[in-house]
Amino acid sequence: MIDILVGLLSLILIFFLPGFLLTLIIFPKKGALNADYDILFKGVLGIMLSLMISILIGMVIYGVDQLAAPPEVQSMRLWLILGLLSVGLAVVAWTKGGLKSLLVSDTSAESADGGSEQELIRLTTEKRTLQKTIGRLEGEKYKKNEKLKQEATVRITALKRDVEKINARIEELLREEEKKTEGEQTA
């Protein structure tokens, strides 16, 4: 049982933790990489960075030992260095706010402002995606085939309504932000 726990901890240290913490340092805000799938993107980036970090540390350990130390000692050094590095990265990620925003749900006014900012980012991204889809549907491919043209026309109409709804929500959020700014200036 202990071997399984040690194995799992080793996998987490080698394949995930240092890179994920480094990603939280580089991109501390929620939604920094993507409004909808931010944690997924940070996780995948963390795995890639962890692999790079582990390989570099392993190469340094191997180069320093010059085959003098047995493999068990080299792996213990790797785990120790990755563990200490992860603790250091966690402290920096916490102070930069990346780890804090991941672990602590903040209900203050700052978080409410960040929430409207996040919603604006999400809405803008969604609007861009819808506009690209509309552009694709208005393309030459759909103009040549009459059946596809009819289907595209129906979809374009629905998508344009969705874009109008998004525009209305964006305007509403901007008006709310403007009112908050005016209220802060008069206070």
Provide the CA 130 distance to its chain's centre, in angstroms.
22
Task: Tell me what pLDDT residue 115 has.
Answer: 64
CA-closest candidate to residue 19, choices 41, 36, 2: 41
What domain range is 168 assigned to?
109-186
- Higher-scoring residue by pLDDT: 12, 182: 12
Total domains, the chain: 2
What is each CA distance from 42 to 31, 45, 99, 187, in whole angstroms? 10, 5, 12, 39
* pLDDT bracket for residue 39 (50, 70, 90): confident
Per-residue model confidence as pLDDT tens digits over 111-154: 444 567 888 888 888 889 888 888 888 876 667 777 777 888 88
Mean pLDDT, rounded, for 43-48: 94
| Domain termination residue (choose one: 103, 119, 136) | 103
CA 37/CA 26 separation, integer angstroms:
17
Non-local CB neighbours of 160 within 8 Å, separated by 6+ positions: 134
Mean pLDDT, rounded, for 45-57: 94
- Kindly state whether residues 98 and 123 are assigned to the same domain: no
Task: Tell me what pLDDT residue 60 has.
Answer: 87
Is 69 a residue whose pLDDT tops 90? no
